[in-house]
Amino acid sequence: MNSNVRDDLQELSVPMTLSDIKKAVENASEIREQLGKLKTSDNSPPDHVRMISSLEAKAEQLVDTLNVWKNRAVSQSGVIQQNDFDSPRWIKLKASGQFSKMYQGSYTGSKVAIKLLNDDVRLEESIAEGRLLKSLTHDHVVEFRGVGQTTEIQIDSSNETIPTGRHYLVMEFISSNLQRYVAKTVTREREGLPYSEVWDFGKQILSGLLYLHKHKPFPIAHMDLKPDNILLDEGQIHPRVKLADFGLSLPLSRDNIKTYGGHARWMAPELWPSRTSLHQLSKELCLKSDVFSYGLILLFLITGKTPWHQINLDYPASSSSSSSSSSSSTTEPPDDERFEIPENLAPELLAIIQRCNVEKPADRANSSQVNDLYYKDRENPFRVKDESGEFFSCGFLEDTKIFVADSRVTESTEGTSRTKKLPEGYEHSDLICEVRVVKFQSGKPIPVVVKPSDLYLEGKFQENMSEFGRWAREGKIDNNPAIALKSLNLPREGEEEEQQIVLKFAQTEYVIHRAMRKLWMDLTPEQKEEAVPAKGIVSNVYSNSFGLHVAVITADKPTPKFIFARRAKREGLASPGDFTCGAVESCSVKDFIEDGKTKVSLVRTAARGLNEELRVVLEGNDVDAITLSTVYLKYDTHEWGLCGFIDLNDKRVRPDNRLTFEQLKSRFTTAGLKDKFEHEEVVAVDFTLSGMVQFVRENFKQFASSAKLVVVKVLQSFFGVTPVERAFTMDTSLIDGNLDL
């Protein structure tokens, strides 16, 4: 037997690297093949044939044992078996390269990206990438799921065959990246992105980069930072970027780095093979090379042009003692043609680019310095009217005219039924918000009101004020003090980038709200777009209310109930006859808190609404169970709101306040209920996915617009985003108990 094989057999009792295992498998396989040829030779004596057969069996056993060790090496990154995916059919994506193909699949109810290796040439690098990703947790770094190996032949969405034995990495699925986003956004009039968006993306990218550079126990250099390696989740008002493709990344436990690479367009000049030897690389140089690439990305976002856009440069410039893709013979393009800085570039962005794209690494800022100098504790200086988004929809719930500004329920939400964790809402401390109170003149309150600047619209507004003022005098509506939203900010602060919300309000009155609401609804689409060019903008003129929409899940056993309430058909109500979810309540001076500045507690508003409309009484620590998760705008009426739910099964609710539907219904019908005149009935639906979807499908045309959003967000919180989307898309005849699995 070959001495190499004996050595490999002895080495099985000690840890081996993946390269060692692969080499041993190849040696053992080669020996097995040679022995097989000897056995079938006509000149082999019988005793030799028996000996060869015995050795061949041992070689085969060695190959099997080595393959087990190889799979163990893979499993250290966390294995996802082929049959663990929700569906065996993978959707082939356009993003494919020399060493891998990308697919979309579904795993535990969530979309995932599957990076399938074409062969084992880069297997060790890919497993290293998986192990690295497994150790990273950050809002701006792609989330790693695991690794695996195909064990069965399957057919992908393009009818191509995926053979067995192919290794893959599994990550969260994000469909877009900065390269594609800029390509579809730029126009002849505007080659790059708006400064506001450049600033937001730049801050997010740097946040992820700073996390890598400060990673413990060793800093990590990405080494391949470029727009198509920065994924972009466009599903929110503020798109979120995530760093991806860590195949060339280096955990920097020492100096004298011997392997590096990246694309020539985005590489720092000191990494070109002609400018450095492999043994001159240090941790600091690798980290600062990321900063140089970061500066180039900012410039790309501003101009829409890649570095050296005027020349063909589609190959990587890589220097690696182990990589088969090494291109040390690459001709270095001229530095002075690499990029052009636009004239009159905003000084805030120009300063960042100039600090990042310094040729000498010693004079270049590091990621911490860039953050401290330009981003830390600083709001976006370009935040203007360029924020927009799409209307909410889910399956058959289309054309809702509901704009979701922010939500804790995102595409990655798996649901309580899977995670066994309480659904996430905004921190209650974030929901105590500043209020600009009314002015007083001669002892009488003068509400805060901003009139349209257009004289014609101001005239229409005054007509509406007269009409609704008369309604108030006739008792059709109550002209109570109201609270208008005037500012919405969604910071992602701190090292963990926690999702936060900052709301600011002004005190007004209900007549003003109704007058402005009618004015908005009478505008043409062109007038609306001119008045509020982006849905995410909190208009100083038209934003004249803020309400809470809180669903109720009862404590019925074994199946909880979800409460719908139908409004009475009465003159003066904004939406008579519509179904709502649980309780709807506008912010009021009743919810004010005085602590040096006048503030309003949105949690107090939610608790008050539940009490006044449905007699769901939450006292003391009971209110901790209120979960408010989504900020939205009803675009058709231009009313802002915040929605969520109260689960009366929650252990934070005292036992005597955990109401069943019969108890709640009994309280609702009790004489003296304040808002009974607003509701003519309450309806309970089994809180199962199939039961809820069936009820919504049959009644959604009678729903208040915000009720559609509330139903979906609550279901997503409990059952997961993907199952809910599937249920609302499914044909009616297919809706059954299977949806709740």
d(CA 593, CA 520): 31
How many of the other CB atoms lie within 10 Å of CB of 116? 19
d(CA 118, CA 112): 19
Token pair for residue 390? 């799409």
Q: Over range 601-616, report the average pLDDT.
A: 92
Cβ 685 vs Cβ 692: under 8 Å: yes
Between 38 and 504, the higher pLDDT residue = 504
Choice among 157-166, 422-431, 459-468, 611-620 with the minimum mean pLDDT? 157-166
Token pair for residue 30? 């080669």
d(CA 79, CA 17): 18
Residue 342 neighbours by CB under 8 Å, 6+ apart = 302, 303
The one-letter amino acid at 377: D
SS3 sequence of 431-479: HEEEEECCEEECCEEECCCCCCCCHHHHHHHHHHHHHHHHHHHCCCCCC
Residue 543 has pLDDT above 90, yes or no: no
Residue 48 has pLDDT above 50, yes or no: yes
Residue 397 has pLDDT above 50, yes or no: yes
Residue 599 has pLDDT above 90, yes or no: yes
For the chain, percent of residues with pLDDT exceeding 90: 30
Q: Over range 26-44, report the average pLDDT.
A: 69
d(CA 406, CA 634): 13
What does the pLDDT read at residue 562? Answer: 97
What does the pLDDT read at residue 89? Answer: 84
Give pLDDT tens digits for 462-503.
999 999 999 989 888 888 888 999 999 887 665 556 678 899
Helices (H), 230-337: 283-303
Q: How far is CA 166 from the centre of its chain?
A: 29
Q: Is the peptide bond before 217 cis (omega within 30 degrees of 0)?
A: yes
Q: How confident is the model at residue 526 (pLDDT cuts 50, 70, 90)?
A: confident
Rg (CA), the chain: 31
Strand 432-436 and strand 439-441: the pairing is unpaired
What does the pLDDT read at residue 333? Answer: 59
What dihedral angle (degrees, nearest 10) is formed by the CA atoms of 305, 311, 312, 318? -80
In this structure, the chain runs to a length of: 741
How many of the other CB atoms lie within 10 Å of CB of 81? 11
How many of the other CB atoms lie within 10 Å of CB of 369? 13
Cβ 313 vs Cβ 305: under 8 Å: no
Residue 18 has pLDDT above 70, yes or no: no
List the CATH code of the domain at 82-172.
3.30.200.20
d(CA 502, CA 235): 20
Token pair for residue 473? 């005098």
What does the pLDDT read at residue 656? Answer: 92
Sheet holding 110-117, edge to edge: 91-92, 100-107, 110-117, 167-172, 144-149
What does the pLDDT read at residue 331? Answer: 52
Domain 402-740 has CATH 3.90.79.10: yes
Choice among 14-23, 99-108, 140-149 with the minimum mean pLDDT? 14-23
Degrees to nearest 5, angle at CA 515 with 513 and 520? 90
Mean confidence (pLDDT) of the chain: 79
Give pLDDT tens digits for 433-447.
999 988 777 777 777
Domain boundaries, the chain: 3-75, 82-172, 177-375, 402-740
The fold adopted by the segment(s) 177-375 is Transferase(Phosphotransferase); domain 1 (1.10.510)
Q: How far from 18 is each of 23, 68, 129, 171, CA to CA, in Å?
A: 9, 12, 13, 22
Residue 387 has pLDDT above 50, yes or no: no
Between 242 and 284, the higher pLDDT residue = 242
Choice among 25-39, 154-168, 564-578 with the minimum mean pLDDT? 564-578
What does the pLDDT read at residue 320? Answer: 43
Choice among 27-31, 288-292, 366-370, 496-500 with the minimum mean pLDDT? 496-500
Strand 144-149 and strand 110-117: the pairing is unpaired
H or E element in which residue 122 lies: none
d(CA 167, CA 544): 56
What does the pLDDT read at residue 164? Answer: 86
What does the pLDDT read at residue 308? Answer: 80
Q: How confident is the model at residue 45 (pLDDT cuts 50, 70, 90)?
A: low
Give pLDDT tens digits for 662-717.
998 887 666 454 444 456 678 999 999 999 999 998 888 778 888 999 999 999 99
What does the pLDDT read at residue 117? Answer: 79
Q: Over range 246-273, report the average pLDDT.
A: 69
Classify residue 94 by burial, with Cβ atoms within 10 Å: 0-12, 13-18, 19+. exposed
SS3 call for 336:
helix
What does the pLDDT read at residue 257? Answer: 58
Token pair for residue 338? 């690499």
Residue 455 CB-half CA count within 13 A:
0
Q: Over range 102-113, report the average pLDDT.
A: 86
Q: Over range 395-420, report the average pLDDT.
A: 87
Roughly what angle, to the nearest 10 degrees, separates helices 195-213 and 347-356?
30
d(CA 409, CA 499): 11
Query: Running DSSP on this structure, what letter comes out for residue 641?
Result: E
Q: What pTM, to 2 d.p., does this model score?
A: 0.49
